[in-house]
Amino acid sequence: MSTLKIPAKDLPKFRRRMLSWFANRKRDLPWRRTKDSYRIWLSEIMLQQTRVAAVIAYYERFVEKFPDVHALASAPTDHVLVNWAGLGYYSRAKNLQSAAKEIVVRHSGEFPREYESALALPGIGRYTAAAVLSIAYQAPHAVLDGNVARVLARLFALHGDLRVPATWRKLEAAAQQLLAQKFPGDWNQAMMELGATVCTPKSPRCDECPVEKWCRARKLGIAEKLPSARKKRASVDVTMAAAVLLDPRGRSLLIRQLGGDGALFSHMWQFPALEAVGTDSRLVIAAYLEEKFRLAINGNLLALATARHTVTFRNIRLEPYLVRVARLPRIADASIVALAEVPSMSISNATRKIADAALSSVGQ
């Protein structure tokens, strides 16, 4: 592997160029107008796997509802999830609130300043800890995310899959070597901004790049070819059987599941569901309802329209059934709601597709 370093004699100039480019070109984003560690942390969590343009409105609404860590920690979880709905990846919202509670109890309501303490919070990985500590507290931790990794791979003409752990560790060391120690917050944002706006995945605008002079990929004419394509994880086909129980008053049963085969979405309200492996989903869901809810089905299953849903590498075929019951079972951690109201709840898209199929079947 080629050396991932800018020559020491060039480093001051390299940093100056990056920082002055960032000062002049940075986008005006709401979380850049604050030094409040709570708001910076919130923005970093929202920006994981979601585009900047999509995050802005959610961020502004969220900070209006939950202006500080105390407000978030003490809010009902459902309220938090409703205000997260649409951003997806709901475990982020759950972890955010769990971390807020820990911050209130263990850190006097302030995001911890030590890297290890930040890392110990739910939902905080190395990237997020470094981003929050550097931007909010000017702590000298370099960030490495997809944007920064792409910039570094091109600067140093690095081939191969960047996510291979040994390569990623080398990139982390390279990012740390480049870090402008006196301005770590601006530095990290400058690197990410360069990746997001100039050193883009396709057609990088090298003519506008402040550090073009040091870029090996540019010199070699291979900027667009880097980083090398990642080896894709093969997708897996999964069938999920789901049951929409319906009582004579048009009400249905939603439950929360915390992972495992039946969890379409952890922590979210969902219809009882189960992965059907190698057998008829009708038999699987009937056996599940009998075992879990003591419901004797006796063939009382009406197949609803199937739907497709994709979660990361899983291609899910949803096979829902309508089950009319005289009385809905009473169990812990379940909610009984009018079927017509389910689509307006904070639920996953998969659950919404199932609810829509049931509603069209019963003519609502």
What is the C-alpha to C-alpha distance for residues 21 and 193, in angstroms, rounded to an integer?
Answer: 10
Provide the minimum distance between the beta carbon of 342 and ligand SF4 in the complex, in angstroms, as a whole number: 47
DSSP-derived secondary structure letter, 187: H
The amino acid at 55: V
Q: What angle do CA 323, 324, 330 make, to 5 degrees?
A: 90
Provide the minimum distance between the beta carbon of 198 and ligand SF4 in the complex, in angstroms, as a whole number: 5
118: number of Cβ within 10 Å: 27
Strand locations in the chain (E):
236-246, 251-256, 269-270, 273-275, 302-303, 307-311, 314-324, 334-338
- Cis (ω within 30 of 0) for the bond into 7? no
> Which candidate, 145, 147, 46, 40, places its Cα nearest to that of 89?
46
Q: Which is nearer to ligand SF4, 7 or 299 (CB)?
A: 7
Helix or strand run (H / E) with residue 138: none
What is the C-alpha to C-alpha distance for residues 29 and 184, in angstroms, rounded to an integer?
Answer: 18
Q: Which is nearer to ligand SF4, 74 or 200 (CB)?
A: 200
Q: Which is nearer to ligand SF4, 69 or 178 (CB)?
A: 178
CB 224 within 8 A of CB 202: yes
From 44, 172, 212, 319, the catalytic residue: 44
Q: Which is nearer to ligand SF4, 100 or 171 (CB)?
A: 171
Provide the minimum distance between the beta carbon of 6 and ligand SF4 in the complex, in angstroms, as a whole number: 12
Where do contacts with ligand SF4 occur on this chain (CB under 6 A)? 151, 154-155, 198-199, 204, 206, 209, 211-212, 215, 217-218, 223
Q: Which is nearer to ligand SF4, 46 or 191 (CB)?
A: 191
- Our answer to whether residue 44 is catalytic in this structure is yes
Provide the minimum distance between the beta carbon of 155 and ligand SF4 in the complex, in angstroms, as a whole number: 5
Q: Which is nearer to ligand SF4, 80 or 191 (CB)?
A: 191
Provide the minimum distance between the beta carbon of 10 and ligand SF4 in the complex, in angstroms, as a whole number: 14
Residue matched to tokens 């998969």: 350
**Going by DSSP bridges, is the β-strand pair 314-324/273-275 parallel, antiparallel, or unpaired?**
unpaired
The amino acid at 258: L
Provide the minimum distance between the beta carbon of 213 and ligand SF4 in the complex, in angstroms, as a whole number: 8
**Going by DSSP bridges, is the β-strand pair 236-246/314-324 parallel, antiparallel, or unpaired?**
parallel
The catalytic site residues sit at 44
